[in-house]
């Protein structure tokens, strides 16, 4: 067991899919896994390990924001010796070329967060995801006929802000999307020399003001989930 995950070491697979919402993880386990079992419920962060197309997979929730995903992915890499972590999440769009329901593969994350600096002195604001994982995800997306857009994202610490930074992020920082977690995930993977990637569904747009309602998010992300699962089992 780790501090925040109540599972034995062999209860967690080497390949893990993470998502912020525990109910989304529960939905994924019930719909896609066979012979699965609950391996964590501390603080309501549900985790399940089972089989997808014969491959052992763990699904784990991570909550919202850099501190939360930082804790869970650190312990998965460090205490459970996980090799691959794939985040499936949602994002807002700063760019007219990314509409609600679009799928995006995160190549880079930009952040003003000091998470990496405090982790091990890494002082860069941009971190890349794993190229090997990205190549496999894009390969499977192509086979499935899924349109998958590459993106640099802004990982923010603040969900609510008074200033509109759409133009700054899109034009100056070249960030098409905004979310709250991938910067910590990618830095934990770098720190432990492990592999991490992230696929996002665009849930709202700062340009068109369209939004996918929270109630719909739980069960309208099947295309992203299936892409993630089918990619992960081939790594």
Q: Average pLDDT, stretch 83-105?
A: 96
pLDDT tens digits for 34-73?
A: 999 999 999 999 999 999 999 999 999 999 999 999 999 9
What is the torsional sign of CA 112, 46, 58, 81? positive
Instruction: Write out the DSSP string of 168-227.
Output: IIIIIS---EEESSHHHHHHHHHHHT-EEEEEEEEEEETTT--B--HHHHTTS-HHHHHH
Rg (CA), the chain: 17
Q: Identify which of 105, 92, 103 has the alpha carbon closest to the alpha carbon of residue 204.
A: 92
Whether residue 57 contacts residue 51, with contact meaning beta carbons closer than 8 Å, is answered with yes
Q: What is the DSSP letter of 163?
A: S
* Distance, CA of 74 to CA of 81 (rounded, Å): 10
63 — alpha (psi -120 to 50), left (phi > 0) or beta? Answer: left
pLDDT band, residue 161 (cuts 50/70/90) = confident
pLDDT higher than threshold 60 for residue 219: no
> What pLDDT, on the 0 to 100 scale, is given for residue 215?
66
Phi, psi of 94 (to 5 degrees): -95, -5
Model pLDDT, residue 171: 95
Contacts of 76 (CB under 8 A, 6+ apart): 5, 12, 16, 18, 60, 82, 85
- Res 45: pLDDT: 97
Helix orientation angle between 66-78 and 182-192, rounded to the nearest 10 degrees: 30
Q: CB of 169 within 8 A of CB of 120?
A: no
Whether the CB-CB separation of 207 and 96 falls below 8 Å is answered with yes
pLDDT at 1 over 90: no
Alpha-carbon gap, residue 179 to 35, rounded angstroms = 33
* 1 burial via Cβ count (<10 Å: 0-12, 13-18, 19+): middle
Domains by residue range for the chain, with CATH: 9-232 (3.40.50.1580)
Output 28 or 161, whichever has higher pLDDT.
Answer: 28
Among this protein's residues, is 204 annotated catalytic? Answer: yes
Determine the pLDDT at residue 139. Answer: 98
Active-site entry in 79, 83, 157, 204: 204
């Amino acid at each position: 067991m780790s501090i925040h995950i109540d599972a034995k070491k062999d209860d967690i697979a080497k390949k893990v899919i993470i998502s912020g919402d525990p109910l989304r993880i529960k939905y994924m386990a019930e719909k896609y896994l066979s012979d699965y079992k609950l391996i964590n419920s501390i603080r309501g962060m549900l985790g399940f390990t089972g089989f997808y197309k014969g491959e052992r997979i763990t699904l784990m929730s991570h909550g919202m924001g850099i501190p939360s995903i930082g804790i869970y992915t650190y312990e998965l890499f460090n205490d459970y010796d996980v090799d691959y972590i794939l985040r499936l999440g949602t994002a807002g769009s700063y760019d007219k070329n990314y509409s609600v329901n679009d799928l995006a593969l995160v190549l880079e994350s930009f952040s003003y967060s000091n998470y990496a600096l405090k982790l091990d002195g890494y002082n860069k604001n941009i971190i890349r995801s794993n190229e090997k994982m990205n190549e496999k995800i894009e390969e499977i997306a192509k086979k499935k006929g899924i349109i998958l857009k590459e993106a640099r994202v802004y990982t923010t610490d603040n969900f609510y802000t008074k200033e509109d930074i759409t133009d700054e992020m899109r034009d100056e920082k070249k960030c098409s999307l905004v979310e709250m977690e991938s910067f910590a995930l990618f830095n934990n993977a770098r720190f432990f020399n492990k592999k991490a990637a992230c696929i996002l569904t665009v849930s709202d747009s700062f340009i068109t003001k369209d939004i996918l309602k929270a109630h719909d998010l739980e069960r309208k992300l099947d295309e992203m989930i299936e892409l993630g699962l089918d990619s992960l089992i081939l790594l």
